[in-house]
């Protein structure tokens, strides 16, 4: 669209919008203001008419109060004398007071006397039964507790609308007790409304309530209840305000309406129309001048700038510049365009350099991608799009064979995920923006099991969402971990106590037997130093002990350990040294040798007892053989039967001694075995008794 066409459309739009805005504003503010004034005025008139009706009731109340305060009336309420009726309840009274009914009630609501008056025939008539019953239904009339109260206003009865006034019957000094109420009533007719209109100079109308003529304006809610708000209806020529008038019992009586002509509104409406026509004509003329001015001072220059920019764009010669001799906003635009051309020229140079840098960066990242030790897959919903060389090595397939496959197809199945649904859920979670890191056991075929560590994350660097999956084969790691667990279990449940100690003496580990033997929990044990559990070591001697263990000169030794209850027990300890990943440890294998030490003590005691027994046997041999030799010699000097008996007994005793010698030799051999194999010291005082026998021939 050309600039001239746009100018015409813009000017027309401005004229139209301004005209509509002016008309709407005038309609809203001026006409609306006039309508508000009309509504306020007619509402005031309606209120004036309502006050005029209320004033009629008030005026009637003054008259009733005067009549009710007569002593004659007070007496009549008691004795109902006919003289009072003849002198007071005559047509002239009704005519002068302008009433059409007068009623006398006692305090219980019983009618004492009542007459009505027909203004047309000027006759006294019986009181209307509907009026009497309606009055008797009022609590003020029928309840003794209200005998002293008064009331005035409108009363709606089945036979018409009345203006009534009720006053208590008292003495002339307005003293009681009240003997009832005096009621005076006049009918509210269209003539009454006409009188009010004449007095107030207001067009007042009273419409009796009939079935179906209340209208929606006075219905509040779906339950059909009536409201008391004023209802205003406007037409082109008139404005009418209506309100429901309620009687003293609170029931609707009639609709009171006030009507006024809309002279001010009609005048304002014509004024707005004339002003709008004049305003639109002025806008059209101004728009024409604006179009001519814009065409000469703006449109022509804009077209020149546009042509210059078009030529530069078509020629792609960004060194060319626009020329404008003005000194306004268009000139600033020309300068901005020239500055933009400078920026474009600089950016073209930068883009060329960025393209080269991008190619270098792509080569670097491609090298990193291909040189990575982990298998890397780039995939989308359709399957694998790209993978590196490590992925080919891990799967044993070419890149072309992997392209288009799903990740679960190349990783195989497992017992916990036979259909690959768990892996599929993790991939969906990664697409949702939740990075997934997990390990899994897969079966590429029926004869092999492989373990993988998988990391899957979403890449949103482009318009299309991709997933980057990094897969590491951790089968060897898992198997080593299983072996380590077995080794750890073996160490934890070994029969010997095993400790790991650092160079500073801190106990870093103790197996189950170590904790049970020393009476510490594993946590308590690892908070101790080696000298806390070995009383033979101090912080000062520990460095030398550490050095001997590290050098391999202190491998096997016997020592003592101290339990948590400070009791000490002997141990046999085997030490080894380990240096790994920059840290040094000693591994101590200890075994409780309390029973072994006690057995050694028993062996020493037994050996000592053996040596004592050998010595005793040697001495006993000598003590027996010497007397036995003498006895044999003496017996040999004798003759007869006694000699043979004595020598026989000597032989028996000598046999016993030889047996003792044989036992001594066996005990000596046992002692030599114990001394040789258990390093017991030999008692040099023990002598070999020899194999001497008693020579019975001596």
String of DSSP letters for 267-329: HHHHHHHHHHHHHHHHHHHHHHHHHHHHIIIIIHHHHHHHHHHHHHHHHT-TT--------SH
pLDDT level of residue 445 (50, 70, 90 thresholds): low
Is pTM, for the whole model, over 0.75?
no
Residue 318: predicted pLDDT: 65
Binned at pLDDT 50, 70 and 90, residue 596 comes out as: confident
Would you say residue 690 has pLDDT above 50?
no
The gap between the terminal CA atoms of the chain, to the nearest Å, is: 166
Confidence of residue 62 (pLDDT cuts 50, 70, 90): very high
Task: Work out the angle at residue 663's Cα, subtended by the Cα atoms of residues 659 and 669, and round it to the nearest 5 degrees.
Answer: 145
Question: Does a cis peptide bond (omega within 30 degrees of 0) precede residue 564?
Answer: no
Residue 439 has pLDDT above 60, yes or no: yes
Q: What is the CATH number of domain 372-479?
A: 3.30.450.20
Query: What number is the average pLDDT over the span 412-439?
Result: 80
> Residue 99 has which token pair?
């009433």
Strands (E), 373-449: 375-380, 383-387, 436-442
Give the H/E segment covering residue 115. Answer: strand 111-118
For residue 656, what are the CA distances in angstroms to 500, 604, 626, 661? 63, 30, 14, 9
pLDDT digits 0-9 by tens, 666-679: 766 776 766 665 55
Distance, in Å, from the CA atom of 202 to the CA atom of 51, rounded to the nearest integer, reads 13
Is the fold of 69-188 the same as that of 493-592? yes
Residue 415 confidence (pLDDT): 66
Superfamily per CATH, domain 493-592: PAS domain (3.30.450.20)
Question: Does residue 506 or residue 273 have the better pLDDT?
Answer: 506
pLDDT for 74: 92
Q: Give the integer Cα–Cα distance in Å for 417 and 452.
A: 14
Is residue 153 within 8 A of residue 143, CB to CB? The reply is no
Does residue 23 or residue 511 have the better pLDDT?
Answer: 511
Mean pLDDT of 383-387: 87
Q: pLDDT (tens digit, 9 = 90+) per residue, 573-595? A: 888 888 888 888 898 888 888 88
Predicted local distance difference test score (pLDDT) of residue 695: 46
* Residue 255 pLDDT greater than 50, yes or no: yes
Residue 587 sits at φ, ψ, to 5 deg, of: -105, 120
Highest mean pLDDT among 52-61, 218-227, 661-670: 52-61
Average pLDDT over residues 271-283: 83
Confidence of residue 263 (pLDDT cuts 50, 70, 90): confident
Q: Where are the domains of the chain?
A: 69-188, 372-479, 493-592, 598-678
Alpha-carbon gap, residue 344 to 595, rounded angstroms? 96
Cα 194 to Cα 283: distance, rounded to the nearest angstrom: 53
Which range of 18-32, 99-113, 364-378, 477-491 scores highest in mean pLDDT? It is 99-113
Q: What does the pLDDT average to over 166-192? A: 90
Q: Is the pLDDT of residue 206 over 70?
A: yes
Class of domain 69-188 (CATH, top level): alpha beta
- Cα-Cα-Cα-Cα torsion 536, 537, 540, 542, nearest 10 degrees, comes to 140
| Residue 681 in this model has a pLDDT that exceeds 80 | no
Look at residue 687 in the predicted model and tell me its pLDDT. 45
Place 635 in a pLDDT band, splitting at 50, 70 and 90.
confident
Name the one residue in this structure whose structure tokens are 């600033």.
332
- Least confident interval from 114-128, 486-500, 540-554, 684-698: 684-698
Give backbone dihedrals phi and psi of 86, rounded to 5 degrees, phi first. Answer: -65, -35
User: What tens digit of pLDDT does each residue of 209-229 get?
Assistant: 765 555 555 644 444 444 557
pLDDT at 431: 83
Distance of alpha carbon 186 from alpha carbon 116, whole angstroms: 10
pLDDT of res. 688: 47
- Between 542 and 612, the more confident residue is 542
* pLDDT value at residue 446: 62
pLDDT of residue 697: 41
Residue 337 burial (CB count, 10 A)? 17
The per-residue pLDDT for 462 is 62
Give Cα 673 distance to the centre of its chain: 86
Distance CA 152, CA 143 (A): 17
Residue 414 near residue 446 (C-beta atoms within 8 A): no
Both tokens of 578, joined, read 């380990």
pLDDT of residue 324: 67
**Helix extents (H) in 69-90:** 71-79, 82-88
Please report the pLDDT score of residue 644 as a whole number.
76
Write the pLDDT tens digit of every residue in 301-327: 777 777 777 787 777 776 777 776 667
| Residue corresponding to tokens 């946590």 | 523
The pLDDT value given to residue 300? 72
pLDDT of 214: 54
Three-state DSSP class for residue 265: helix
């Amino acid at each position: 669209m050309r600039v001239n066409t746009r100018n015409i459309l813009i000017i027309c739009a401005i004229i139209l919008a301004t005209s509509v805005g002016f008309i709407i504003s005038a309609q809203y503010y001026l006409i609306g203001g006039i309508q508000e004034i009309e509504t306020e005025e007619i509402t005031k008139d309606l209120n004036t008419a309502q006050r005029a009706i209320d004033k009629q009731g008030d005026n009637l109340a003054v008259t009733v109060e005067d009549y009710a305060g007569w002593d004659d009336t007070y007496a009549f309420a008691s004795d109902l004398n006919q003289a009072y009726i003849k002198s007071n309840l005559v047509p002239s009274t009704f005519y002068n007071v302008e009433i059409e009914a007068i009623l006398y009630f006692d305090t219980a609501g019983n009618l004492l006397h009542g007459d009505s008056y027909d203004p047309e025939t000027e006759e006294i008539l019986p009181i209307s039964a509907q009026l009497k019953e309606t009055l008797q239904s009022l609590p003020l009339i029928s309840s003794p507790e209200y005998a002293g109260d008064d009331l005035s206003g409108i009363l709606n009865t089945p036979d018409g609308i009345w203006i009534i006034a009720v006053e208590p019957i008292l003495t002339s000094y307005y003293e009681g007790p009240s003997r009832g109420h005096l009621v005076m009533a006049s009918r509210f007719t269209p003539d009454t409304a006409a009188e009010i209109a004449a007095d107030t100079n207001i067009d007042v109308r009273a419409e009796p309530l009939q079935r179906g003529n209340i209208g929606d304006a006075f219905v509040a809610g779906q339950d059909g209840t009536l409201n008391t708000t004023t209802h205003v209806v406007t037409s082109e020529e008139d404005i009418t305000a209506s309100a429901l008038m309620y009687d003293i019992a609170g029931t609707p009586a009639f609709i009171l309406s006030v009507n006024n002509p809309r002279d001010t509104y009609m005048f304002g409406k014509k004024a707005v129309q004339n002003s709008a026509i004049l305003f639109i004509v002025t806008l059209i003329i101004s728009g024409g001048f604006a179009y001519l001015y814009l065409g000469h001072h703006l449109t022509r220059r804009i077209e020149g700038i546009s042509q210059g920019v078009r030529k530069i764009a078509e020629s792609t010669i960004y060194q060319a510049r626009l020329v404008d001799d003005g000194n306004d906003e268009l000139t600033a635009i020309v300068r901005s365009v020239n500055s933009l051309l400078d920026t474009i020229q600089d950016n073209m140079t930068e883009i060329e350099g960025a393209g080269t840098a991008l190619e270098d960066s792509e080569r670097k990242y491609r090298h990193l991608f291909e040189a990575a030790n982990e298998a890397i897959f780039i995939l989308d919903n359709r399957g694998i799009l790209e993978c590196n060389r490590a992925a080919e090595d891990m799967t044993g397939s070419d890149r072309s064979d992997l392209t288009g496959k799903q990740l679960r197809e190349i990783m195989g199945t497992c017992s916990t995920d036979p259909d690959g649904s768990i892996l599929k859920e993790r991939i969906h979670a990664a697409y949702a923006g939740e990075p997934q890191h997990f390990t899994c056991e897969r079966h590429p075929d029926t004869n092999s099991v492989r373990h993988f560590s998988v990391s899957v994350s979403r890449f949103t660097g482009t318009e299309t969402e991709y997933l980057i999956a990094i897969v590491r084969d951790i089968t060897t790691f898992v198997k080593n971990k299983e072996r380590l667990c077995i080794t750890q279990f073996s160490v934890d449940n070994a029969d010997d106590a095993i400790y790991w100690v650092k160079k500073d003496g801190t106990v870093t580990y103790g197996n189950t037997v170590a904790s049970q033997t020393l009476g510490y929990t594993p946590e308590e044990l690892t908070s101790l130093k080696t000298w806390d559990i070995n009383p033979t070591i101090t912080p000062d001697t520990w460095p030398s002990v550490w050095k001997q263990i590290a050098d391999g000169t202190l491998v096997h030794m016997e020592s003592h350990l101290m339990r948590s209850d400070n009791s000490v027990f002997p141990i046999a300890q085997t030490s080894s040294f380990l240096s790994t990943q920059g840290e040094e440890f000693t591994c101590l294998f200890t075994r409780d040798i309390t029973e072994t030490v006690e057995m050694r003590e028993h062996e020493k005691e037994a050996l000592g007892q053996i040596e004592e027994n050998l010595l005793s046997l040697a001495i006993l041999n000598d003590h027996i053989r010497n007397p036995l030799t003498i006895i044999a010699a003496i017996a040999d000097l004798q003759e007869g039967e006694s000699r043979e008996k004595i020598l026989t007994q000597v032989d028996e005793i000598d046999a016993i001694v030889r047996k003792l010698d044989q036992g001594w030799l066996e005990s000596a051999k046992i002692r030599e075995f114990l001394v040789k194999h258990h390093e017991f010291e030999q008692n040099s005082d023990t002598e070999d008794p020899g194999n001497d026998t008693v020579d019975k021939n001596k």
